[in-house]
Amino acid sequence: MVKKDELFDDFGPERIIEVYHPKTGMRGVTVIDNTALGPGKGGIRFTPTVSKEEVFRLARAMTWKCALADIPFGGGKSGIIGDPKKLTKEEKLEWMRAFARLIKEVCPAKYVAAPDINTAEEEMRAFAEENGNPKSITGKPADLGGIPHELGSTGFGVVVATKVALEHMNKKPSEVTFAVEGFGNVGEFACKFLTEAGAKLVAVSDSKGTLVVKGGINFEKLAETKKNQGTVTKYGEGELLAGKDIIFQDVDVLITAAIPDLFDATDVSKIKAKLIVQGSNIPTSMECEELLSKQGVLVVPDFVANAGGVISSYVEFIDGIPDDMWKLVEEKISKNTKLVLEKSKADHVIPRVAAMTIAQERVRAKCDSCRA
């Protein structure tokens, strides 16, 4: 049972839609958190354990991410409750079609969907076709006007944020070493774009462990190794460590790009990086960010650094092309990272607090109920 005071505040949610499709057995939920800035934006998560509370918290995170990115979207999220591994491909698509039919009345006027865990381009195609409006969802195949996330928009945005933070610290990319936790869609592109900017990659991890090469890792060789052998640990040189050891490496910059809750307060004193850029969602707690700040570590928060994906989604929503996407991701993340870091310094607060203040102010400015 969800208590009102646990779920509702001045910002939202505005609407919670719970659906059930008897023929397939599909159950789902959509949370439209806040539409002051535009229709709620957020992906469709398809897992056996996704709950109303989880979907609400993800929708609220999207409210702040879209506001901070300064794009005309609000916060939203959906969950389909089921195990995709127990469904055939066609059954999974039929569940998505049923879900699309049952929330059609709010898409895209109040909610614009997207891929999330266990959903991808083909599910987005099924949703769009069932809804009848391609603007009801982003992350679609290219033939429906989609801009593939495989282009690396999120990783690119993380690197833009990193470069702004380095400038804030009076450093140049060519002067620093860096480590990346995770070599998936975010981490791989963070490695690519930051090495192209001149920084030296010396450590990277994936689910099999951490690779450390103090003399520097060649990105092309690393990407080829991952593609052909399934793990960065088969790189063929350097030192191999446990996966979590990535956060303790002696580098200037640490980019998190995979799992949530990566480290806690007991790990902080062992972290040597002076800049942490959160490409992953919720890699640690606010308490840890406070401790890191006292230790002289600058942390660029997740919803500032990893907004490239939702900015890319906005470009797709307005029928833009990849060239438009690259330009807007760089423009938005550069501007907003700089704004957050300057406010953090001026107000003597950690960047997350500064970012939340800016995001809330932007929502309040357009939201009558939030001002009440």
Mean pLDDT of 162-180: 98
Output the domain CATH number for residue 162.
3.40.50.720
Active-site residue among 77, 110, 135, 200? 77
- Does 121 reside within a domain? yes
Residue after which a domain boundary falls, among 92, 124, 146 = 146
Residues 235 and 130 in one domain: no
Residues 141 and 158 in one domain: no
Give me the amino acid identity at 10. D
Which of 367, 362, 353 lies closest to 332, judged by CA?
362
pLDDT at 1: 43
Name the phi and psi angles at 293, rounded to 5. Answer: -60, -40
Residues 276 and 327 in one domain: yes
- Residue 77 annotated as catalytic: yes
**Helices 351-364 and 286-294: angle between axes, nearest 10 degrees:** 130
Residues 97 and 140 in one domain: yes
In tens, the pLDDT along 203-261 reads 999 999 999 999 999 999 999 999 999 999 999 999 999 999 999 999 999 999 999 89
- Does 254 reside within a domain? yes
Count of all residues that appear for the chain in the document = 372
| Measured CA distances, 169 to 172, 173, 276 (Å) | 9, 11, 12
pLDDT at 2: 47
Residues 215 and 349 in one domain: yes
Q: Which domain holds residue 106?
A: 4-146
Tokens of residue 49, six digits: 């354990």
Residues 291 and 160 in one domain: yes
Element (DSSP H or E) covering residue 91: helix 89-102
In terms of pTM, does the model score above 0.85?
yes
Q: What is the band of 91 on the pLDDT scale with cuts at 50, 70, 90?
A: very high
Residues 194 and 121 in one domain: no
In tens, the pLDDT along 105-135 reads 999 999 999 999 899 999 999 999 999 999 9
pLDDT at 367: 83
Residues 159 and 296 in one domain: yes
In tens, the pLDDT along 22-59 reads 999 999 999 999 999 999 999 999 999 999 999 999 99
- Does 366 reside within a domain? no
pLDDT at 94 over 60: yes
Task: Please answer whether residues 140 and 125 qualify as being in contact, where contact means their C-beta atoms are separated by less than 8 angstroms.
Answer: yes
- Does 372 reside within a domain? no
How many domains does one find in the chain?
Answer: 2
